[in-house]
Amino acid sequence: MSACSARVVPIALAAVLAVAVWALPGAAQARTVYRCVRDGTVSLATAPEPGSRCEPREIADDAVKLPNLWGEMGVINGSLYERQQDGKTVYSTRKLPGSVRVMGFTVETPPGEPAHTGLGKVGKPQTDKFTGQFRAAAKANGLDDAWLRAIAHAESGFDAKAVSSKGAQGVMQLMPETAKEYGVVDPFSSAESIAAGARHLKSLMRRYKGDLVLAAAAYNAGIGTVTRYGGVPPYRETQDYIAKVQALHQLYRLALGTGTPALRAAQ
């Protein structure tokens, strides 16, 4: 590694990991860090990653407090990789084709960026909301109507126009890429959102062999996150979300006259 590269790496590491800053001599500068998401996993990079959905974030070299770009992910053990992209040397915490590992890192991410926040309170069951649409979507996908309603209740409170701080939309709070995957044209159409949400939940139920807890965890935090942790991730928001959905499921089962389900506790 050249002397020039040796100086660039810690600068990139600071930006990519958002843990510390090694400022270059001279006037303070702002650097662009890309927060990239693919298959439910987050990486940070100095250039947009091919195949990922990346958002640029500006970080000043002289920033007193650096932003948490990772989200609430507990302790992360990872590696910083170097590769050539479009004739330039770029750095990323995701191993992509042509990457060379530069160094390892451990960072403890602070709280403050939940996956889906859902609602703060459980509240009473609302069986009069989009009754026919929930019944039809549940039947078409072999789901429990009460569980589908519980997810919608926790996600949006049945608000068809709801938009989360992270961009999830509609009754079922689908992220744009998920909505597109299921052919949603209007994410604020209750019928389209409920139908797509039910299909997504059916896919999760198939993946997790009918385990409602893991399906709810993946709906909240993403399939990639559940895979990474081998089960329910250690996110307070996700664990609270699962507990909320479980409570709502039982309330809707009672309200709809279908009994009380026996669900295992989140591990």
Q: Which residues are catalytic?
A: 155
Question: Rounded to the nearest 5°, which phi and psi values hold at 51?
Answer: 90, -5
Closest CA to 100 of 87, 88, 83: 83
Torsion, CA 235, CA 239, CA 245, CA 249, rounded to 10? 150
- Amino acid at position 257, single letter: G
Give Cα 121 distance to the centre of its chain.
Answer: 21
Q: How far apart are CA 170 and CA 192, in angstroms?
A: 9
**Pair 103, 77: CB distance under 8 Å:** no
Backbone angles phi, psi at 9, to 5 degrees: -55, -50
- The label of the residue with tokens 């992910």 reads 73
DSSP, residue by residue, 53-111:
EEEEEEEETT-SS----S-S--EEEEEEEEEEETTEEEEESS--TT-EEEEEEEEEPPS
Helical residues (DSSP H) of 174-211, grouped into ranges = 176-181, 190-207
